[in-house]
Amino acid sequence: MIDLRSDTVTRPSAGMLAAMTSAPVGDDVYGEDPTITALEERVAGLLGHEAGLFTVTGSLANILGVRALVAPGTEILCEANAHVARAELGAHAALSGVTTRTWSAAGGQIDLDQVRALVAPDLGPYFVPTAAVSVENTHNFGGGTIQHHFDALADELDARGLPLHLDGARLWNASVASGVAPAAYASRAAAASVCLSKGLGAPVGSVLVGSQELVREARVWRKRLGAGWRQAGVLAAAGLYALDHNVERLAEDHANARQIAEILADAAPGSVKPDQVETNIVVADLAATGRTVAEVVEGAKAAGVLIGGVGATQLRLVTHLDASAAHCRQAAEVVARLLS
């Protein structure tokens, strides 16, 4: 099967497995795992922050980062299809007492006018005050789009004294595609998370970065939520290997995604705009094709290609290091036949 459901489906390479099996380890709850410490310090440095915290998932990193910025009973603003609002199972409300209000924009983009209209300062005991704004870069359900007004939003929030939360699950993709260093994005945020288990190909893990004080508090909450771990340096070693070997090659995934988009656009004009596919995610809209998402997903599976749906009429294909250019072309041609 050619699996393009997500970039989380990769398997560790031989080199990554060798790094994992040779990693020095210790008990991380006691702060004694040297490989985890090395990973946290390295990612914090790459992102322009004082400290980092290794977590099992990006969702957990976001939960901890948002909690550190947003007190119970206050709100965070984000785009309507942002991962923190749509794909973390209501965790911010259920676990942290945080409410959410959203703006809607094509491709999940920052809309400064909408953000300004939403921000609610302390208006007394009748309204929920805005405590932070969250931005996802790249935006998953927006089609892997890069946030092109990130600095303008950061400047706006600085002027208002509001912190910015960055969900940078695929920040590495944004950086490689845009040529902007990861720290240029992440240093503008009070808390930022990055994944190692998506485009970089590690089997597990994300890192939350921020100030020493923020990370110290997040470490306590990680343990309180039952997510402390022991000799997890074997997993951190995979992250370090990924940073050494798998960042620059993300450009190959971006080229493969553009190839898929071009093939689908030829088969079903208007379903996707190739020039808007910036990174490794292709979202195709089937509304005008007469096909349903379920039909195309099942038809592709029968032909040896795994893809997914992310909306009533939207298909998603995600390129990654385990899918070669030939695999991606083959998968695209299968889907194109189903659409045409």
Examine residue 30 and state whether it is found in any structural domain, yes or no.
yes
Are 205 and 294 in a shared domain?
A: no
Model confidence at 340, pLDDT cuts 50, 70, 90, reads: confident
CA atoms of 22 and 16, how far apart (whole Å):
10
Domain boundary (216, 245, 274) is at 245
Report the SS3 class of residue 194.
strand
Residue 270 resides in a domain? yes
Flag whether 80 is in a domain.
Answer: yes
* pLDDT over threshold 90, residue 123: no
How many domains does the chain divide into?
2
Q: Are residues 134 and 26 in the same domain?
A: yes
User: Which band of pLDDT confidence, cut at 50, 70 and 90, is reported for residue 124?
Assistant: confident
DSSP strand pairing (191-195 vs 206-210): antiparallel
Arithmetic mean of pLDDT, 185-198: 98
pTM: 0.97
Which of 211, 245, 279 is the C-terminal boundary of a domain?
Answer: 245
Q: Does 162 map to a domain?
A: yes
In this structure, is residue 9 part of a structural domain?
A: no
Query: Does any domain span residue 2?
Result: no
Task: Give me the pLDDT at residue 120, please.
Answer: 95
**Residue 181 in domain:** yes
Q: Does residue 171 sit in the same domain as residue 282? A: no
**CATH code for the domain of 333:** 3.90.1150.10
- pLDDT for 17 equals 98
Mean pLDDT of all residues belonging to the chain: 97
Which structural domain range is residue 59 located in?
A: 14-245
Domain boundary among 193, 214, 245: 245
Whether 203 and 152 map to the same domain: the answer is: yes
Confirm whether 289 is domain-assigned.
Answer: yes
pLDDT of residue 252: 98
pLDDT given at position 6: 98
Same domain for 200 and 71: yes
Same domain, 187 and 306: no
Residues 240 and 260 in one domain: no
Question: pLDDT tens across 18-38, in order?
Answer: 999 999 999 999 999 999 999
pLDDT tens-digit profile of 75-102? 999 999 999 999 999 999 999 999 999 9
**Residue 93: what pLDDT?**
97
Q: How confident is the model at residue 106 (pLDDT cuts 50, 70, 90)?
A: very high
